[in-house]
A and B are shown apart, each in its own frame.
Chain A
Amino acid sequence: MDSDMINLYEVTETNKMIEKENLDVRTITLGISLLDCIDSDLQRLNDKIYNKIYDAAKDLVKTGEKISREFGIPIVNKRISVTPIALVGSAACKTVEDFASIAKTLDKVAHEVGVNFIGGYSALVCKGMTPADELLIRSIPLALSTTERVCSSVNLGSTKTGINMDAVKLMGEMILETAEYTKENDSLGCAKLVVFCNAPDDNPFMAGAFHGVTEADKIINVGVSGPGVVKTALEKVRGESFEVLCETIKKTAFKVTRVGQLVAKEASRRLNVPFGIVDLSLAPTPAIGDSVADILCEIGLEHAGAPGTTAALALLNDQVKKGGVMASSYVGGLSGAFIPVSEDQGMIDAVRAGALTLEKLEAMTCVCSVGLDMIAIPGDTKATTISGIIADEMAIGMVNQKTTAVRVIPVIGKGVGETVEFGGLLGYAPIMPVNNFSCDAFVNRGGRIPAPIHSFKN
């Protein structure tokens, strides 16, 4: 026996995290390249896509469940990401219906292999749009309203290229149209649609997961979680200095990430697919005690959104990374704290209390991963206003050399103060007010915002 044997205290601590503090592995995401499926015949293309995904992913769910059982750790989601479909469909698709047929194929194979989401109905247009890119973007409302499990994302800008404002304008319109197409379900389609600046190629989290063209044929990426674990750890250091606070977050993030690393390596070995990255994100769920907002409160705020929130979130995000980087050999994806509104009970409470506004959320996105996420807004919001919100968020990402995103849901037929129910992990949300002063003339200029000066590093 080695002297460094696991002891009762350590075993109890781990199992308490799992049983009482919602520690889980949020997702095992299998990235699959569809580049070798490209064909100019639409039917052949759809067949090849179905077959490649089916063969690659048929054991994914079963393997995930087996790993979960053997280690006693919940693995909440098993998912798939694919090469951006705008590329894959470019030779075959001549109409929006052609593109939407690929979405249906993705949905069918997702059902068949038992994954709850498949990401990659995407276009990367941070500098310009090909005709296929534009066609895919215009097909998003149809694709998301005729499928259940398909997620869509569009990269609209980057630090290296600037912001494609033509695409930003178009996406404002497409988000509204998606809301309209899915209005019978509280505009749920928009919960499966996200726009990015600096989108990562290896993000395992939905709705933004896609399998970048720089990736291998197949890859396993794992997203960890654990807001409840961090919150519980911080309860023990109330009133202590920032040094103690930061050390506690860092150590906790290390432990959480190690579980993700273990699961990623195991899934990689058993599926015979290379391990890509662990995304060390604090991803909340609507479950009580699984909230990033609750961590901010534990750090010392009455509600998320109170003065001090941005600073608290900045230190949280930084410590999560510092602890996580040590725990995994390859870190990637979004990695940081997520601040979705509908998926976090503490955020919902903060909005209801009047402590948290869209503008404060925007400020918070400067210092954490991702951006304006799962925010319900009035259904009568103008397309140009949505584009303006997107442009602001893209600018934050571009200038700060980080990923930012927007996933807003204009809920058709509902207004401020009403509530929208998405169900499951997507949660529910109070509809938040939007600044309705016009930005029409700004959005309608057309063209591209140039890359910032500090992007010229060659």
Chain B
Amino acid sequence: MRSGAGMEITMKKTIITVVGKDTVGIIAKVCTYLAENGINILDISQTIVQGYFNMMMIVDMNGCEKHFGDVADELATLGEKIGVMIKCQKEEIFDSMHRI
């Protein structure tokens, strides 16, 4: 476990995943939302398998004034509009599972 005491948890990175049928402008719309909310993208990777769009972003939400839960909700709603599923999760769950 890297997380120790106190405030460290808020400095952690967030993983945003976007999964769904590929259409024009998915990345643009998600990135616009992130930019408008002061969320900085640190890394993007993306694949398309059999017409399915699969993207992951590592972002830093420290510059964002909204609560984590609200951002997660708004991204999910945005996803519904574009027809993809957008999830927003703190990085630790992946770190815990995949790193010793």
A residues lining the B interface (CB < 8 Å): 1, 4-8, 10-15, 66, 69-73, 255, 258-259, 261-262, 265-266, 269, 326
B56 surroundings in chain A (CB, below 8 A): 7-8, 11-12
User: Roughly how many angstroms separate A386 CA and B32 CA in the complex, as a whole number?
Assistant: 66
In this complex, how many residues of chain B approach chain A with their Cβ under 8 Å: the count is 31
Taken together as a complex, chains A and B put the C-alpha atoms of A82 and B30 apart, in Å, by: 47
CB-defined A-B contacts under 8 Å, sample of 16: A1-B42, A5-B58, A6-B58, A7-B45, A8-B45, A8-B46, A13-B98, A15-B17, A66-B69, A70-B68, A70-B69, A255-B97, A255-B98, A259-B97, A262-B1, A262-B93
Interface flag for B22 (CB, 8 Å): no
Residue of A nearest to B87 (CB): A72
B 8-21 binary contact with A (CB < 8 Å = 1; else 0): 01000001010000
List chain B positions with a Cβ less than 8 A from chain A: 1, 3, 5, 9, 15, 17, 42-43, 45-47, 54, 56, 58, 68-69, 72, 87-100
Query: When A and B form their complex, which 6 residue pairs have the shortest distance between CB atoms, in order from nearest?
Result: A72-B89, A71-B93, A258-B96, A262-B96, A6-B94, A10-B98
Chain A nearest Cβ from B57, distance in angstroms? 10
A6 touches B72 (CB 8 A): no
- Give the docked Cα–Cα distance between A73 and B97 (Å): 12
Q: How far is the CA of A72 from the CA of B72 in the complex (A)?
A: 10
B90 touches A71 (CB 8 A): yes
**Inter-chain contacts of A66 with B (CB < 8 A):** 69
Classify the secondary structure of A's interface with B.
Answer: helix
Q: Looking at the complex, which one of B3, B54, B90, B91 makes contact with A8 (CB distance below 8 Å)?
A: B54
B4 to chain A, nearest CB (A): 9
Assembly CA distance A11 to B45 (angstroms): 11
**Nearest Cβ distance between residue B73 and chain A, in whole angstroms?**
9
Write out the residue numbers on chain A whose beta carbons fall within 8 Å of the beta carbon of B87.
Answer: 15, 72
Query: Hey, which chain B residues are within 8 Å of A14, CB to CB?
Result: 93-94, 97-98
4 A-B pairs besides A5-B43, A6-B95 with CB distance below 8 A are A10-B97, A258-B96, A259-B93, A261-B96
Nearest CB on A from B20, distance (A) = 13
List chain B residues, Cβ under 8 A from A261. 1, 96
Residues of chain A within 8 A of B68, CB atoms compared: 69-70
- The CA-CA distance from A14 to B72 in the complex, in Å, is 18
- How many Å from the CB of A264 to the closest CB on chain B? 10
- Asked whether, in the complex, the Cβ of A6 is within 8 Å of the Cβ of B92, the reply is no
Q: Which residues of chain A are near B89, meaning CB under 8 Å?
A: 70-72
B10 CB, nearest partner CB in chain A, Å: 11
Select the residue from B69, B92, B93 with max chain A CB neighbours within 10 A.
Answer: B93
From A1, A10, A265, contact of B94 by CB (8 A): A10
A8 to B47, CA, bound (A): 9
Give complex CA distance A28, B88 in Å.
22
The answer to whether B47 and A11 have CB atoms under 8 Å apart is no
- By beta carbon, the residue of chain A nearest B1 is A265
Are A11 and B94 CB-contacts (below 8 A) given A5-B43, A6-B58? yes
A269 to B6, CA, bound (A): 8
Within 8 Å CB of A266, what residues of B?
9
Q: How far is the CA of A261 from the CA of B3 in the complex (A)?
A: 12
Q: Which residues of B contact A269 (CB under 8 A)?
A: 5, 9
Residues of B within 8 A of A5 (CB): 43, 58
- How far does the alpha carbon of A12 sit from the alpha carbon of B56 in the complex, in Å? 9
Do A6 and B96 have beta carbons less than 8 Å apart? no
Residues of A within 8 A of B69 (CB): 66, 69-70
Alpha-carbon separation in the docked complex, A334 to B59 (Å): 39
In whole angstroms, what is the CA distance A41 to B55 when docked? 63
Tell whether, in the assembled complex, residue B91 and residue A6 are in contact, meaning their CB atoms are under 8 Å apart: yes
Given the complex, which residues of B lie within 8 Å of A1, measured CB to CB?
42-43
CA A72 to CA B9, docked complex, whole Å? 16
CB distance from B7 to the nearest CB of A (A): 11
Closest-by-CB residue of B relative to A73 is B93
Shortest distance in angstroms between A363's beta carbon and chain B's nearest beta carbon?
Answer: 34
B42 contact set on A, CB distance < 8 A: 1
B80 CB to nearest chain A CB (Å): 16
CB distance from A263 to the nearest CB of B (A): 9
Minimum distance in angstroms from A13 CB to a CB of chain B: 8
